[in-house]
Amino acid sequence: MIPAAKGGPFGWALDAYIGWKFRSAFRGMWVRGELPAAGPGRLVYLNHANWWDGFMLHQLSRVAGWDAYCLMDEENLRRYPFLARIGAFSIRRKDAVSSVESLRYAKDLLKRPRAALYVFPEGEHRPFGELPLRLERGVELLARVAKVECVPIGVRYAFFEHERPDVLLEVGTPHPPGSLAVFQQGLESVVRKLAAVTTLEGFTRKVSGARGVAEKWDAARGVGP
């Protein structure tokens, strides 16, 4: 297992780089629903639709005030080892001994005061909105072992009327550990809500990104927000 290795000069530099990279690539991060305040450990489970998800989670952690970690397939973490510096740790899903080690490590992380653990229960990238979701049982097992609050969050990368895409997050209702069907229902609910979104009405911008040419032009003319 590859443990998380947050902090240190390289970790701090990476924090700054990821923030800059995210804000330069997207118009903003928008949230609908109530992000739980930093507090006792919680399990946050999300759909996995884009390569940018790791950078998005980094920004979400800063917005929510969470000391966040992310469970990641070991092969992918070896490919992108720098992600351990922002809280990723590994699991070998087809190795029972490794899986148990990772679950114990995750349980210990979740005992920390502001800890949040991100999990993508689909296990791989899938096109946004493709239903039904196919979840793996690891999220159910982890929640039962850790005995923490579970929060579903839907993620969508969307173009509306602007040059750059927006990142939309739909926060679902927190719930205690339960069966895989409970996680399925929770995640599909927030994904369906996001799939129906056609405007940013009802969302709050939590991270401001780069403006496109049209927005800069309108600002120069004194038009628009």
CATH 3.30.1480 fits domain 8-221: no
pLDDT score recorded for residue 194: 97
Q: What letter does residue 37 receive in the DSSP assignment?
A: P
Cα of first residue to Cα of last residue in the chain, in angstroms, is 49
Q: Which two tokens stand for residue 125?
A: 């990238």
pLDDT score recorded for residue 124: 84
Q: Which two tokens stand for residue 20?
A: 């800059």
pLDDT score recorded for residue 210: 78
What is the three-class DSSP state of 156? strand
pLDDT score recorded for residue 221: 64
Give residue limits of the domains in the chain: 8-221
124-150 burial by CB neighbour count: b if 16+ within 10 A, else e? eeeebeeeebebbebbbebbeebebbb
Backbone angles phi, psi at 157, to 5 degrees: -105, 115
Residue listed under structure tokens 């920004």: 59
What is the three-class DSSP state of 215? helix
Residue listed under structure tokens 């351990």: 84
Q: Which residues contact 205 (CB under 8 A, 6 or more apart)?
A: 28, 29, 30
Q: Which residues contact 18 (CB under 8 A, 6 or more apart)?
A: 55, 58, 59, 86
What's the CA gap between 176 and 223, in Å, rounded?
48
Backbone angles phi, psi at 73, to 5 degrees: -55, 135
- Report H helices in the chain: 8-25, 53-64, 74-79, 96-109, 138-146, 180-195, 213-221
Q: Give the pLDDT of the chain (225 residues) as one tens digit per residue.
A: 899 998 888 888 999 999 999 999 999 999 999 999 888 899 999 999 898 999 999 999 999 999 999 999 999 899 989 889 889 999 887 777 778 899 999 999 999 989 999 999 998 888 898 899 999 988 999 999 999 999 999 999 999 878 889 999 999 999 999 999 999 999 999 999 999 999 999 999 999 987 765 666 566 666 655
pLDDT score recorded for residue 216: 61
Say if residue 3 is preceded by a cis peptide, omega within 30 of 0: no
